[in-house]
Structure 1
Amino acid sequence: MSSTAAGSPEPPSPRTVTPAVETVLAFVNTRADGTGRRELFEDGDSFADWLAEFGGFGGFGGFDGETVATDADAAAARELRDALVTVLLAHSGDEESLGEPLRHAERHLRRAGSLYPLATVVTAGGVELASPQTGVERVFGTVLAAVTTFAGSGDWGRVKACRNPPCHFGFLDRTRNGGGLYCSPGCGSQVSMRNYRRRLRQES
């Protein structure tokens, strides 16, 4: 989660999937969607399995197959993830996520920021945000550090959740104008077809 040091190359394009974006997407894309993707934070055991699988990924190092995660840890992971998904849906202009759902998500994220504070690590190569905590709390802090790092680039609004329900898959919008709404052409087509059928029913 490092910033660019003086004299170093230009920062990546907003259409580049950086390690910070990979960390955020790895965390939010763990929910069941009704089309085959299963819930990866269902309970403590499944959350621990996910931690073991991503042990060396995105700053989640230090976890292995022996990691103990409780059902309460899994519930906290779901709450943090779902709050982030709501924000990413707002980035996509999803009307159902706006208003009170978004305010509730932002309140939860403010609480998470106080529960999982970050430390600034300064080196000759740059400045990095990292979680000083251990265990599961460090995972949540790492996710928040990734969000903060990417948001600092000014392109946080490009990390979105697909507007096609029930997909809501997180993705980086790499379109030139930042106007992408769906994670894939297939999801866009599904929404277009549903809207077309709705208009036909209304006209009949």
Structure 2
Amino acid sequence: MAMDASRTTLSPSAAAEVVLTFVNTRAIDGSREELLDGAAFSRWLRKEDLIDSPSLVTDADAAAARELRDALVLVLLAHTGEQDEAGRAGAEEYLRRSAELYPLAPVITASGVHLAPTQSGVPGALAKMLAAASDVALRGSWMRLKACRNPPCHLGFYDRTRNSSAAYCSPNRCGAQVAMRTYRSRKAKEEGR
């Protein structure tokens, strides 16, 4: 069922946009945490059209969503070459367990196949995140979904470079910040000799 990797494009699919929208709900650069509590998570789910209005969303649901999001961010960091093996392994295990909590079923039609949640409400919305990630992987673009290696940022982004080598959401902002920190650290070590 794997798709041809040569079909990978330099533009994100709709499924990639769903994953990126979800991982970028964290408070970054002065933005607010969109999954802070049940009320905030409910607003975000409705804004993204991922849940029906009468669905109840609790603080525990928001906590589960943050854990799923954080696991995805750690996996996307690995796509930039981040070497936190223990963190990545824990995130991958969490995602495996999440697949059991938020199951998907194949929907087969004359025009194709896609994965759909088997539950409604919040579990169905979180399953949609897993379905979107699966779709991106099956299309051969999973490694292009990344999280910025700049520690205060970790913004999710789609790597549009031809050789899939981007490590920062913005070379001019985050890439420059990391380069400057590295330079200052090296300078301080040299002066401390």
User: TM-score w.r.t. structure 1 length?
Assistant: 0.87
- Mapped to 2, the partners of 1:154 and 1:125 lie a distance apart of 19
- Mapped to 2, the partners of 1:197 and 1:107 lie a distance apart of 37
Tell me the residue number matched to 1:126: 112
Tell me the residue number matched to 2:69: 81
* Alignment coverage as a number of residue pairs: 187
Amino acid at match of 2:157: F
1:93 aligns with 2:81: yes
SS at structure 2 position matched to 1:128 = strand
Tell me the residue number matched to 2:32: 38
SS at structure 2 position matched to 1:129 = strand
**Offset, 1:165:** 1.3
SS at structure 1 position matched to 2:131 = helix
Amino acid at match of 1:127: V
SS at structure 1 position matched to 2:115 = strand
Tell me the residue number matched to 1:23: 18
SS at structure 2 position matched to 1:164 = coil
Contact 1:52 1:67 in 2 (8 A): no
2:149 aligns with one of 163, 181, 190: 163
Cα RMSD after superposing both structures: 1.7
SS at structure 1 position matched to 2:39 = helix
**Offset, 1:12:** 5.8
Amino acid at match of 1:37: S
1:149 aligns with 2:135: yes
1:52 aligns with 2:34: no
Tell me the residue number matched to 1:197: 184
Question: 5+ residue gaps in structure 2?
Answer: none
Percentage of pairs with the same residue: 52
Contact 2:8 2:139 in 1 (8 A): no
